[in-house]
Amino acid sequence: MALIVQKYGGSSVADAERIRNVAKHIAEAWDEGNQMVVVISAMGDTTDNLIELAYNVTEHPDSRELDVLLSTGEIVSSTLLAIALKSMGYEAISLSGAQAGIRTDASFSRARILKIDPKRVLKELKRGKIVIVAGFQGITEEMDTTTLGRGGSDTTAVALAVALKAEMCQIYTDVEGVYTADPRLIPEAKKLSEIGYEEMLELASYGAKVMHPRAVELGELFNMPIWVASSFTHSPGTLIHGGASMEIRNKARAVAYDLNVAKITVVGVPDRPGIAAAIFEPLAQAGISIDTIVQNASIENITDLTFTVAKGDLDKAMKVVEPIAKSIGARECAADAKLGKVSVIGTGMQNAPGYAVRMFSALSQEGINIHLITTSEIRITCIIDEARVKDAVRTLHQAFELEEEE
């Protein structure tokens, strides 16, 4: 008997009818003779609505209480799903993250899983139950409820699959798998039958929200195969696994985009040792993640330093950087909040010349100006105006002939 961990996302359980549909989906896999642990997200926009509620009460909600509040979304969906399964005659039980043994650190709203103690889950499996686990949440040593960050149910699912030594982790969502680009934006995008962890991690980290990057990272670390498919249809999905990245394809695999980019430029910075540390250390202390950093070659020992942050962090970052810029004698700080990034990804691009030029010419033919460029071995990213990001995805999907994939 195989043990399978399944996860259903928010849109798959958005209303009572969809919950019944998911219950049927689970029952089918159970009837095939599998042991099942099912991780569930909050219904539809529940998490957004709960956040809004808290911010309507006060501008700065307490972080501990906010996590307890947000965790209730997944409690509602997990109990409703267990109710649906029981009404169909299946033995099911819902467990909170705490009951499922998901132990985290105490960083509210972005807690990390430290370990999983799956005693209770194993006990219920032994009793012949389908175990429904509330995703996105855990518990600290002090028994405080935490949440794992937006989209965190994917992480719960893969972590549980690893802890339970499941055969695979199945992620059911509102699209049929991982595509060469977001299928909602590019209708011609092709579904990939398989993709390696490395490519998937770059895709997820650079905006393809079909999988959370932390979940992909965990999958890679423990070599847990992840199957992404639709909860609404039965068409074959995408297998994320270790074998795929071994295939060297002389091709880009996918395009990702992210609209959540803001840029800060510190203009006229004296070029001497210690300046970068003086700027980035206080930003790190303020808990602000920096993405891209570019320093221009200096002219007469004066340089410009540019870096990007998430839009929500821009004001906070400017408040940190402006006084430092003044104190080190920089001319000024300039902010741009209306940016986005577009990335072309593929292991086939490794050590192969020509991909960067192809990307830059495609963008220039569309009249799209590039602000910054960053690369990894298997990715090229351009930071461009937010308003042109979607055009850029369309033009790059064509330029790299991704509609002809597979």
**DSSP per residue, 73-135:** HHHHHHHHHHHHHHHTT--EEEE-TTTTTEEE-S-TTS--EEEE--HHHHHHHHTTPEEEEET
For ligand ADP, the binding residue among 5, 6, 10, 74 (CB under 6 A) is: 10
Provide the 10 A C-beta neighbour count for residue 25: 19
Q: In the window 172-191, what residues touch ligand ADP (CB under 6 A)? A: 173-175, 178-179, 181-184
Q: By Cβ distance, which residue is nearest to ligand ADP? A: 9
> Is position 148 an interface residue for ligand ADP (rule: CB under 6 A)?
no
Binding mask 70-109 for ligand ASP (x = CB under 6 A): ---x------------------------------------
Distances (CA, A) of 208 to 179, 192, 341, 348, 396: 9, 14, 12, 19, 15
Angle (deg, nearest 10), helices 355-365 and 389-399: 130
**CB atoms closer than 10 angstroms to residue 91:** 14
Binding residue for ligand ASP (CB under 6 A) from 12, 35, 41, 104? 41
| Cβ 184 to ligand ADP shortest distance, Å | 4
- Give 151 or 225: the residue with its C-beta nearer to Mg ion: 151
Whole-angstrom Cα distance, residue 254 to residue 66?
36
Work out whether 12 is an interface residue with ligand ASP (CB under 6 A). no
How are beta strands 254-270 and 194-196 bridged, if at all? unpaired
Instruction: Count interface residues toward Mg ion (CB under 5 A).
Output: 2
Q: Is the Cα torsion angle 87, 12, 150, 104 positive or negative in sign? A: positive
- Binding residues for ligand ASP, total number by CB under 6 A: 12
Nearest-angstrom CA–CA distance, 95 and 86: 15
Of 45-53, 203-211, 263-271, 312-320, the window that binds ligand ADP (rule: CB under 6 A) is 203-211
Select 199 or 313, whichever has its Cβ closest to ligand ADP. Answer: 199
Q: In terms of CB distance, is 148 or 164 closer to ligand ASP?
A: 148
Q: How far is the CB of 206 from ligand ADP (least distance, A)?
A: 10
CA of 31: how far to CAs of 89, 92, 109, 259, in Å?
12, 13, 37, 43
Could you say whether residue 151 binds Mg ion (CB under 5 A)?
yes
- Per-residue x/- mask for ligand ASP, residues 113 to 142, rule CB under 6 A? ----------------------xx------
Query: Do 373 and 381 meet the contact criterion of CB atoms below 8 Å apart?
Result: yes
For Mg ion, the nearest residue by Cβ is 151
Q: Which listed option, Mg ion, ligand ADP, ligand ASP, none, makes contact with residue 73 (CB within 5 to 8 Å by class)?
A: ligand ASP
Count the residues in the chain: 406
DSSP string, 179-210: BSS-TTT-TTPPBPSEEEHHHHHHHHHTT-TT
Name the minimum Å distance from CB 180 to ligand ASP.
24
> Which of 152/340 has CB closer to ligand ASP?
152
Question: Which range touches ligand ASP (CB under 6 A), out of 29-37, 100-108, 145-153, 257-265?
Answer: 145-153
| Sign of the CA dihedral running 89, 95, 101, 103 | positive
Q: Residue 344: name the closest of 212, 201, 246, 206 by CA.
A: 206
Strands 238-241 and 194-196, by their bridges, are parallel
Q: Within 13 Å and on the Cβ side, how many CA atoms surround 51?
A: 9
With binding defined as CB under 5 A, does residue 44 bind Mg ion? no
Q: Does 47 bind ligand ASP (CB under 6 A)?
A: yes
In this complex, which beta carbon is closest to ligand ASP, that of residue 43 or of residue 362?
Answer: 43
Nearest to residue 63, comparing CAs of 100, 28, 107, 23? 107
Task: Tell whether residue 151 is a contact of ligand ASP (CB under 6 A).
Answer: yes
246-265 mask for ligand ADP (x: CB under 6 A)? --------x-----------
Q: Which residues contact ligand ADP by CB under 6 A?
A: 9-12, 41, 151, 173-175, 178-179, 181-184, 208-210, 254
Q: Return residues touching Mg ion (CB under 5 A).
A: 9, 151
